[in-house]
Structure 1
Amino acid sequence: MSIRKLFSRRFLASAVTVPLVAGSLVFVTPGVAEAVTCGQSWSNKDPGWGTGTHSAESPYTVPLHSGMYGDCRVTSRVSTGIKLWYHCYRRNSYGNTWTHVRIDGTDWKGWVWDEYLNDGGSYYPC
């Protein structure tokens, strides 16, 4: 077999293999992060209450969000130990549960990640 034919076959094999491998990488790479939706509905089903214990940002405050995702706007921060009246909970697309609460003695409401609540949040689904 001549060198020219051998080179041509190797070149053709490489020319076919490279696009196949490159094309498969598109399917292997992770997708774009999903869009976060804030402002989910809720209903007042839970007669219970709890308190915030801590947050990732501060050991002394717990953030209330406009929706059940960490990327949703923080509407206020509550000092740990303040009574939070539970309404209900929802599970977001990441599998995390969030409880909709009202700060005792106010009309301020929002979503709190259940990891930040002393008893794990509401047991009543929205």
Structure 2
Amino acid sequence: MRKSLTRALLTLPAVVAATLVSVGGTATAAPAGTHAGPVQIMDCSHAHSNKDSGSGRTTTVLRYRTGPHTSCEPLGQAGSNTLIYYHCWTSGESVGGVSTWTWGRVAGTQREGWFSDKYLSNGGSTKKC
């Protein structure tokens, strides 16, 4: 089975659960012109471990983060075509239609973080965290 299809099948339960959580709760009316929607706080502390021996390269200058969301704190930046050693992947915020992120280490350093799979040359890690 192709990696992208395998990922889609593995992430589907998380997407369904997140959707169910986001539509639950109590609806409240707000005056016209105001926003009274729930404030969603992204969890930037996702578990990870080194399960993958693969690697890939960044396709652009890319920030890596504390969690798999663009609102999570950036830990650093990797240049275009930088080699990243993969550890594992998880579901997170969709970036350009891709909602998987890889925990990885910048080659030749001890710098680690979450990289959006949208900007990794081969789609990121193949091992789920």
Letter in 2 for 1:108: R
C-alpha separation in 2, matches of 1:108 and 1:84: 10
Q: How many residues align?
A: 96
Identity, in percent, stands at 30
Q: Is 2:71 aligned against 1:75? A: no
Q: Is 2:119 aligned against 1:116? A: yes
Calculate the TM-score normalised by the size of structure 2.
0.67
Letter in 2 for 1:35: I
Task: Pick closer, same or farther for the CA change 1:124–1:32 going to 2, 3 Å.
Answer: same
Letter in 2 for 1:97: T
C-alpha separation in 2, matches of 1:113 and 1:93: 9
Provide runs of 4+ in structure 1 moved above 4 Å.
none
Which residue number corresponds to residue 58 of structure 1? Answer: none
Which residue number corresponds to residue 50 of structure 1? Answer: 56
The equivalences for 1:79-98 within 5 A come to 79-92=79-92, 96-98=99-101
C-alpha separation in 2, matches of 1:49 and 1:26: 49
- Asked if structure 1 preserves the Cα contact closer than 8 Å seen for 2:28 and 2:36, the reply is no
C-alpha separation in 2, matches of 1:76 and 1:93: 19
Structure with more helix by fraction:
1
Structure 1's unaligned 5+ residue stretches are 1-23, 55-60
Larger Rg over CA atoms: 1
Task: Pick closer, same or farther for the CA change 1:63–1:104 going to 2, 3 Å.
Answer: same
Structure 2's unaligned 5+ residue stretches are 1-26
